[in-house]
Homo-oligomer: A and B are copies of this chain.
């Protein structure tokens, strides 16, 4: 029984993306325009139909430039979301709330960045924190980038539950196998074995090179509209069944550092869609680091706490035979690092039956943007 006012009120009806590269040779504005144009066309709409635009706070483009370049003269809803890369699911939720209440009819959510040739997140070239000082507790000690903080959580998970580097590697290997089926993926033609993973250098212990996500130049966009309009448009709608957010990095009531925000968010998320974790057919999980997929699997309730390592090692996240195929286009580890918006597009493709690692009769997809910073359940 669905308990929320968003249930099937809105749907993703268009998806678009640029090529993924290490050096786009183009501005982030051009990337944004290309991905948005592709998504709007995919939706069967024209840019002038778009009256809402939501952006990542860290996205360098301004709404005015995008609207001006594309002729969106009637933009009447806009906003943004912080938390750096974790904003994707929350933004789609905000778009869904906007169209459900008539603040807009057709809302674009996008992410565009030259994440490799421009500012690189993994090098501390982008300020990740608010202006008022949380970094004061960590930055003077040299903790500047996400992999440093999250490595400590991963280490604790290993200590507490016996999770191993080979289990982290099982995530990387499974996602690489999915990328090897996806011609758009950065690592389409490059296989990865567990031995490759185990032989790769440490970036920050216990994270090896192949535990860490890509750096990508590119852009992705989606179009969200009302359920009624969605039924008149060309593609199978990906309905928003339920959505939730938690503050990334804010631990609130979590018992210890091996738990992620997904733990707080999951009960409301599943209740809102009227489903359980066992009903989900395929998951798109924010994989900045392989270990974080294990945290997410546990904290959303796909397996018991501490059993994420064995869960992935047993092949449960690998298409086609796994119980819950994860990141079926390759994810951040092997497709592209577009701050979950490439996952969003893949979630929609799964519901359309158009993935290169298609889960048969996929009806329900979970999308996670940051171990519970945001999450969606999308359905046909």
- Chain B positions within 8 Å of A101 at CB level: 4-6, 9, 96-97, 100-101
Q: What per-residue 1/0 map shows which CB atoms of A1-45 lie under 8 Å from chain B?
A: 001111001000000000000000001110000000000000000
User: Contact at B6–A103, with CB atoms within 8 Å?
Assistant: yes
Selected contact of A132 from candidates B4, B60, B132, CB within 8 Å:
B60
Residue of B nearest to A103 (CB): B97
User: Contact at A63–B75, with CB atoms within 8 Å?
Assistant: no
| A53: min CB distance to chain B, Å | 9
User: Contact at A130–B250, with CB atoms within 8 Å?
Assistant: no
- Chain B positions within 8 Å of A132 at CB level: 27-29, 60-62, 65
Contact status of A131 and B60, CB under 8 A, knowing A97-B98, A101-B100: yes
> Counting CB contacts under 8 A, is A255 at the interface?
no
Pick the 10 closest A-B CB pairs, nearest first. A62-B130, A5-B102, A73-B252, A4-B102, A60-B131, A5-B101, A97-B97, A64-B250, A97-B101, A6-B101
- Chain B positions within 8 Å of A28 at CB level: 132
> Counting CB contacts under 8 A, is A90 at the interface?
yes
- Chain B positions within 8 Å of A326 at CB level: none
- Chain B positions within 8 Å of A27 at CB level: 132
Q: What per-residue 1/0 map shows which CB atoms of A47-88 lie under 8 Å from chain B?
A: 000000000010011111101100001111111111000000
User: Contact at B268–A76, with CB atoms within 8 Å?
Assistant: yes
User: Contact at B245–A77, with CB atoms within 8 Å?
Assistant: yes
Selected contact of A97 from candidates B73, B81, B100, B265, CB within 8 Å:
B100
| A67: min CB distance to chain B, Å | 6
Contact status of A64 and B243, CB under 8 A, knowing A79-B81, A90-B78: no
User: Contact at A57–B77, with CB atoms within 8 Å?
Assistant: no
User: Contact at A247–B63, with CB atoms within 8 Å?
Assistant: yes
With A27-B132, A80-B81, A96-B101 given, can you name 11 additional A-B contacts, CB distance below 8 Å? Answer: A28-B132, A57-B57, A57-B80, A62-B129, A62-B134, A74-B264, A78-B81, A78-B247, A97-B98, A100-B101, A101-B101
Binding site for B on A (CB under 8 A): 3-6, 9, 27-29, 57, 60-65, 67-68, 73-82, 90, 93-94, 96-98, 100-103, 129-134, 243-247, 249-250, 252-253, 264-265, 268, 272
State A96–B98 Cα separation when bound (angstroms): 10
State A3–B249 Cα separation when bound (angstroms): 40
| A168: min CB distance to chain B, Å | 27
User: Contact at A250–B97, with CB atoms within 8 Å?
Assistant: no
- Chain B positions within 8 Å of A76 at CB level: 244-246, 265, 268
State A94–B107 Cα separation when bound (angstroms): 14
- Chain B positions within 8 Å of A63 at CB level: 82, 130, 247, 250
- Chain B positions within 8 Å of A61 at CB level: 130-132
- Chain B positions within 8 Å of A82 at CB level: 62-63, 78-80
Residue of B nearest to A75 (CB): B247
State A102–B80 Cα separation when bound (angstroms): 19
Residue of B nearest to A87 (CB): B79
Selected contact of A250 from candidates B68, B90, B249, CB within 8 Å:
B68
User: Contact at B247–A102, with CB atoms within 8 Å?
Assistant: no
- Chain B positions within 8 Å of A97 at CB level: 94, 97-98, 100-101, 103
Residue of B nearest to A27 (CB): B132
